[in-house]
Amino acid sequence: MSRDSRLSQASRDPKWIQWILIGITVGFVTLFLILPLGVIFWEAFRKGLKTFAIALSDRNARSAIGLTLLATAICVPLNMVFGLAAAWATTKYSFPGKSLLISIIDLPFAISPVIAGLMLILLYGIHGWFGAALQSMGLQVIFAVPGVVLATIFVTVPFVARELIPVMQEQGSEQEWAAISLGASAWQTFTKVTLPNIFLPLLYGVLLCTARAMGEFGAVSVVSSNIRGLTNTIPLQIDALYNDYNAPAAFALASILATLSIITLLAKSWLESKIEHRSKESEEIQ
């Protein structure tokens, strides 16, 4: 009810104010979001599907797509497990330094990805803290695939945990206690009670994490040194192609990345509408 009254309050603003605000929003979105994204697809398909096919048949492009998918495939499940563990630990247990830990999880949001990349070099680079030891074991991290994966993990750490912590805080542990008192084992409690309750926010976090993992440029760029066909992810390959004045191939690859992102975005808004629907339902009853 309060939502409706607030709405009617707002719609009492003069018509011209309403039109100006709507106009600004739509204009801004068109100019800065839709137009650039459209241009990518336009440029990619301008000379027909043939360029597109050629660009994609390029070995380096395919390697970039492969590496991006690999880094994402490693990073997202890890992030999911970490996010669940972190959310569980910080909402169901109490221990000293808990709120500090929650703030630290957010660190990658605050730190520039370039700095994240540099930190990895300082740690694992050939002159870094662990670099020499790793080198002697025959493991190269920096300027190699492991570095790319590590950088991707670093920048995506907060995504799942951030989505889960507030939801689990709000839910408390009573449902879990109830399940245990009814004879459920710890595993049954987790799979039958906890997981269904946090399923949507978990999926939402995973999607955001996926989008970020695929699109990360800064941190990956620092640790990868752009070896084509080896350590280039899609964003890096696009950058390299563009610098070679191979605009059609760059746009073709860009359109693939953009398509992946759009799919993620659509899935996200579908989920959002579902979550909203759910909470609305509960509001109405109460």
Could you list the residues that contact another protein (CB under 8 A)? 174-175, 177-185, 188, 192-193, 196-197, 281-282, 285
Smallest gap from Cβ 194 to another protein, in A, equals 10
Nearer to another protein, 27 or 172 (CB): 172
Smallest gap from Cβ 7 to another protein, in A, equals 24
Nearer to another protein, 69 or 200 (CB): 200
Q: Specify whether the CB–CB gap between 159 and 80 falls below 8 A.
A: no
Total Cβ atoms within 10 A of residue 43: 17
Smallest gap from Cβ 172 to another protein, in A, equals 8
Smallest gap from Cβ 282 to another protein, in A, equals 5
For 245, the token pair is 């004045």
Nearer to another protein, 185 or 259 (CB): 185
Q: Specify whether the CB–CB gap between 55 and 252 falls below 8 A.
A: yes
Report the candidate in 74, 64, 63, 62 with the shortest Cα–Cα distance to residue 233. 64
Dist. CA 194–CA 199, nearest whole Å: 9
Nearer to another protein, 111 or 184 (CB): 184
Smallest gap from Cβ 188 to another protein, in A, equals 5
Q: Specify whether the CB–CB gap between 124 and 150 falls below 8 A.
A: yes
Q: Specify whether the CB–CB gap between 149 and 254 falls below 8 A.
A: no
Nearer to another protein, 67 or 179 (CB): 179
Smallest gap from Cβ 176 to another protein, in A, equals 9
For 190, the token pair is 């987790």
Q: Specify whether the CB–CB gap between 56 and 241 falls below 8 A.
A: no
For 186, the token pair is 């710890």
Nearer to another protein, 14 or 196 (CB): 196
